[in-house]
Amino acid sequence: MVSKVPGLVRYIVVRGLMVIPTILVLYTFVFLILRVLPGDPVLAVIGTRYIPPEQLERLRELAGLNKPLYEQYLSYLLGILRFDFGVTLVAPQGVPVWDYIKLRFPATLELTVAAFLISVIIGIITGILSAYFRGTILDESLRIYSVLAYTLFIPWFGMILQYIFGVKLQLLPTGGRISPGVHLESITGLYTVDSIVTLNLSAFIDSLKHLLLPSLTLGIVLSGAYTRLVRNNMIDVLVSEFVRSYKARGIREWKIALYSFKNAFIPTVTLMGLQFAILLGGAILTETTFNWPGMGTFIVDRIEYRDYNSIQGAIIFFALMVGLVSLIVDMVYALIDPRVRY
Amino acid sequence: MFIFPSIASLIKLPGSLKIIVGVLIVFIVFLAGLLAPIIAPYDPVKSAGPPLTPPSPKNLMGTDHLGFDVFSRIVWGSRIVLQVVISATLVALIVGVILGIVSGFYGGLLDRLLSMIMDSLYAFPSLILAIAIAAVLGPSPYNAAIAIATVYIPTYYRMIRGQTLSIKSQLYVEAAIAAGLRDRTVMLSYIFPNLIYTILVILTLNIADAILTEAGLSFLGLTVSPPTPDWGFDLRIGQRFLLSGYWWLSVFPGLAIMVLALGFALIGEGLSDRLQLRGLR
């Protein structure tokens, strides 16, 4: 028992350090794309307009382009440590990108967390059903579901839901996070959480209604992978020696199911980590489809302005998030499966 | 009769139904793209009737807001998605496989460095990375292909490197190395042939993924400029009219994207079922 805790701590520290190269590689990659590929970021912003030389110089300074390449690389890297992701180049000029991230990220977080929960819940239920009734029509249709869900194109699926629930049935809003007239005090930026904290029932219902279609869209698309994984793992466990011996000993069916699921759950955690990247990518399309004011729509807006500073900041922020989540997943893994710790 | 397996026994192999359906879908879409001038009833960028006409025998999938025939646009649009996706995945495949074999075969510092870079890129959302690259290069099918190729190199690299490592430790490869064959010969004639089936599985599954990524880039306006027919972009345009009830502008292009992705996914799944049968996984 004594050696158990230091093992876990050491594991977490080692894993934490391993995230650093990942982030460095991604930062370098994004930096190189934006600096070395053809096209000057500043000239891209200006387009064909005429700009006086001193204004051009100011733009170059804002973009950090007036310094040598290695200095740009290092100073931006050091800036990240202070949450300095550079400033916007246009519309409006000179606003810290971090201000936008603070404003937009909670929206993306709310959407992705909701979608994540939906995908895991649907995936686990369908996976268990599929495993229990393996070989039946239910199993076959759930297996088809898992392939179809994977090939669903997020904007298309979102639009179908918009059309059914928004246009035809008029039940749910088709875009935005909250209705214009609803007042809500922003604390965390997660509207559903804020409305609960401030005991604002009408805002809670309204924000939940707005959240439902986007998170359902993203959640269902991602659920297919869990369906399949949970099914296959459950079957592996259900036919294993220990389940057979439980059955022989007359242990109740539902208890066996519980034990089986615990064992089948560990690989599911790995998938959750892998799915996070797909979740973020899918969020961009979901946000664009539902006009959801998160990081995805921020990037798309900034692409239209050709504001590379903002794009770079947003993408590096995403890289930090990916690193953080992989770390969290590994820690969860170490907690639920003692074999992982050394 | 004993040498050639009957069709019935071929179908009994695991995954056959998936492969057959998948190949059929892909074949039809390829044919549509190839024979677009013959199949499409109208010019995709010329008015074929009043704007926003619902589907009818005259316009099978209706007309869009400019009066263009939606069906003809989908037939022509298959060309863009096929060209972009096939060229992008082939480039990713060639680069990823070469780096993967070399990295797995030689090991050492190069292997560690490459693995670190590829693992990092793999961990990042491929769509977001593709958006960044395509946005910097500017919207065009060519640039979209470069972006998609870049983000999928790690997919091939990781799989091939892993397989190379396990094949390398097989006796016949060790014998070939001990016999003094040149490294290139060992990699090309002893390792690569054993990777072909794996490559085929990854390729088909990856193409399915790449189709959705390409559609994503198109949806965000990073592939073509109007009025070029393109599934993802037409879907985006269609959304504006969907909320007013004109569903056919977006439903059909989206279906086209998914059916094609499904076709490749089915082939990949079927091949992967067979791979498991052969005990390679």
Q: Is residue B8, in this structure, part of any structural domain at all?
A: no
Q: Is residue B154, in this structure, part of any structural domain at all?
A: yes
Residue A68, amino acid: P
Suggest the residue from A23, A148, A151, A321 to mutate for an interface test with chain B (most B CBs closer than 10 A): A151
Q: Work out the angle between the directed axes of helices A201-238 and A154-161 (0-180°, nearest 10).
A: 130
C-beta atoms of A33 and B208 within 8 A: no
Of B123, B220, B250, the CB nearest to A159: B250
Q: How many CA atoms lie within 13 A of B155 on its CB side?
A: 27
| Whole-angstrom distance, CA of residue A104 vs CA of residue A109 | 9
Q: Specify the pLDDT at position A325.
A: 86
Binned at pLDDT 50, 70 and 90, residue B89 comes out as very high
Q: Following DSSP, what letter does each residue of B34-93 receive, concatenated?
A: HTHHHH-SS-TTS--SSTTPPP-SSSTT-B-TTS-BHHHHHHHHHHHHHHHHHHHHHHHH
Domain ranges of chain A: 114-296
Gyration radius (Cα) of chain B, Å:
22
Instruction: Split chain A (342 residues) into runs of 10 and give each run's mean pLDDT.
Output: 62 82 87 73 68 76 77 87 86 87 94 95 92 89 90 94 91 86 81 85 89 95 91 85 83 80 79 84 94 93 85 90 85 74 53
Contacts of A341 (CB under 8 A, 6+ apart): A4, A7, A8, A11, A334
Q: Specify the pLDDT at position A18.
A: 81
From chain B, pick out residues whose CB is under 8 angstroms from the CB of A27. Answer: none
C-beta atoms of A151 and B124 within 8 A: no
Q: Is residue B10, in this structure, part of any structural domain at all?
A: no
Q: Specify the pLDDT at position B279.
A: 44
Between A and B, how many residue pairs show a Cβ–Cβ distance under 8 A? 134
CATH code of the domain covering residue B185: 1.10.3720.10
Q: Is residue B7, in this structure, part of any structural domain at all?
A: no
Q: Specify the pLDDT at position A67.
A: 78
Q: Is residue B119, in this structure, part of any structural domain at all?
A: yes
Average pLDDT, chain B: 88
Domain count of the fold of chain B: 1
Q: Specify the pLDDT at position B156.
A: 95
Q: Evaluate if residue B147 carries a pLDDT over 90.
A: yes
Q: Specify the pLDDT at position A5.
A: 58
Q: Specify the pLDDT at position A296.
A: 93
Q: Specify the pLDDT at position B280.
A: 41
Beta bridge partners of A87: A96
- Provide the chain A residues 54-83 that lie in CB contact (below 8 A) with chain B: none
C-beta atoms of A150 and B265 within 8 A: yes
Q: How far apart are the first and last CA of chain B?
A: 31
Q: Is residue B42, in this structure, part of any structural domain at all?
A: yes
Q: For residue A242, count other CB atoms closer than 10 A to its CB.
A: 12
Q: Evaluate if residue B5 carries a pLDDT over 60.
A: no
| Whole-angstrom distance, CA of residue B21 vs CA of residue B35 | 21
From chain A, pick out residues whose CB is under 8 angstroms from the CB of B265. Answer: 147, 150-151
From chain A, pick out residues whose CB is under 8 angstroms from the CB of B127. Answer: 281-282, 284-285
Q: Following DSSP, what letter does each residue of A27-49 receive, concatenated?
A: HHHHHHHHHHSSS-HHHHHHTTS
Nearest C-alpha in B relative to A301 = B220
Binned at pLDDT 50, 70 and 90, residue B8 comes out as low
pLDDT in tens, B169-227: 888 988 988 888 898 888 988 899 989 988 999 999 999 999 999 999 999 999 988 88
Binned at pLDDT 50, 70 and 90, residue B1 comes out as very low
Q: Minimal Cα–Cα distance from A254 to chain B, Å?
A: 31
Q: Is residue B63, in this structure, part of any structural domain at all?
A: yes
* Domain that includes residue B151, residue range: 17-278
Binned at pLDDT 50, 70 and 90, residue B264 comes out as very high
Reported ipTM:
0.89
Q: Specify the pLDDT at position B11.
A: 64
Residue B53, amino acid: T
Contacts of B237 (CB under 8 A, 6+ apart): B64, B65, B226, B249
Q: For domain A114-296, give the CATH number.
A: 1.10.3720
Q: Which residues of A178-213 are buried (b: 16+ CB within 10 A; e: fewer)?
A: beeebebeeeebbbbbbbeeeebeebbebbeebbbb
Q: Evaluate if residue B98 carries a pLDDT over 90.
A: yes
